[in-house]
Copies of this chain bind each other. A is one copy, B any other.
Amino acid sequence: MENNRDGAFASAAELTTGIAARKAIRAGQWTSHTSGLAPGHVQGNVVILRAADADDFLRFCLRNPKPCPLLAVSEPGEPLLPTLGADVDIRFDVPRYRVWRKGELVAEPTAIAELWQADFVTFVIGCSFSFEQALLDAGIPLRHVANGRNVAMYRTNIPTTPAGKFHGPLVVSMRPMTAANAIRAIQVTSRLPNVHGAPVHFGDPAEIGIADLAKPDFGDPVEILPGEVPVYWACGVTPQAAVMEARPELCITHAPGAMLVTDLLNHQLAFS
């Protein structure tokens, strides 16, 4: 039991499906990170923008599919996302939101019905939870998971393809592993293009503009043992950073780690 509101509780062990997780979240019984909820189910990054910004952002995602794989885009003003779950209502179904005005964080509510606008467009973007589960299922250990830390993330010198007001560098997540595991990891994640797909680089961090692996720009540093190489994947922080940089009048995102839990199964994302 990790959450508590109005005397109601939810236990992660009970929230084994997307429907059960969302029901608890919607009832205010779960308001923190969703790692480990509804095992096997796809979770998504959330970005909500007004229509004028949404047009640019949609083109930004389409032009940068590795960091911004779109799992769903709503109709303008429509809070339901039926392709991710019959009952999904983006006004209530994220455990904790962040509300940004002109790039400044102004609130962290657990529902956004009162903020809803008739032209809001919701973007749900694939997240590395899905491919990390696939790697673990393939027998590839992930040190940050074993250590209970956040993955190490870095700004690179690889530019995204801009669209309107959205631009900025590719952000990558890094996982150290042996060469043999890296080869297997490339195979496993290649089958999952909707959750960042294959790595964008491995080996020398300087080649992609990373000065010091011990100093990630986001997340926690991770040890690299002898015989291991750092492997870099495009990261969903890329579009978040582009949105922050663009400073739109109003933007709502999920709070870090508190994702939208969907009814999709990770296995359904694999193209073969």
Contacts and interface: CB of A to CB of B under 8 A. Distances in A.
A180 B170 CA distance: 15
A234 to B, nearest CB: 12
Given A227-B207, A272-B272, A202 B182 contact: yes
Contact of A203 (B179, B201, B272): B179
Interface residues of A, number: 18
Contacts of A183: 186, 198-202
A12 interface: no
A135 to B, nearest CB: 15
A150 interface: no
Interface in A1-18: none
A182 to B, nearest CB: 7
A67 to B, nearest CB: 15
Contacts of A204: 179, 227
A233 to B, nearest CB: 11
A133 interface: no
A229 interface: yes
A187 interface: yes
A200 B180 contact: yes
Given A180-B200, A182-B202, A183-B200, 5 more contacts: A179-B207, A183-B202, A186-B190, A187-B190, A204-B227
The list of the 5 closest CB pairs from A to B, nearest first, reads A186-B186, A272-B272, A187-B190, A179-B202, A179-B201
